[in-house]
Amino acid sequence: MPQHLHPVKVRFYELDPYGHLNHSVYVQLFETGRVELLDSVGLGLSDLELRGYRFVVTNIETSFLRSVEGGDSLVIETGVLEIRRASSIWRQRLLRGDEVMATQRVRAAITDTDGRPTRAPTEIHEALGPYLAEPGL
């Protein structure tokens, strides 16, 4: 499955009292990865809004596998498992070198700007196509 890669560095204010990356920051980093992928294919959040569409997160499943510490250089790996009629499923990993630090699976509804579910237009399918998993993966 082709992946979009976005590098990040852990900052001191993102740490919990134990010196580890706070669990809530993982969600923010993964969000950054999805937004960066969308930007890279010409579907930035403002672009989507102008076209009358939004991705609205409806479910997040995060697994914390290894501890991340201040100063760690990480890569957010993002791909799209599937795009359905009015929703999408995203798969992400947070990497430190070759080590998988955390994973996340996100379901996002595709809505119009009033929040009503809507069919994903062809342009979204085409733009995300390079990051879409092969059928059966």
User: How does pLDDT run across 81-123, given as a tens digit for each residue?
Assistant: 999 999 999 999 999 999 999 999 999 999 999 999 999 999 9
CATH number for region 4-131: 3.10.129.10
Asked whether residue 78 carries a pLDDT value surpassing 60, the answer given is yes
* Domain residue ranges of the chain, discontinuous segments joined by +: 4-131
User: How does pLDDT run across 29-40, given as a tens digit for each residue?
Assistant: 999 999 999 999
CA neighbours within 13 Å on the CB side: how many for 25? 18
SS3 content of the chain, % helix, strand, coil (to 5): 30, 40, 30
Q: How far apart are CA 25 and CA 131, in angstroms?
A: 24
Q: How far apart are CA 58 and CA 56, in angstroms?
A: 6
H helix runs in the chain, sequence order: 23-40, 45-51, 122-128
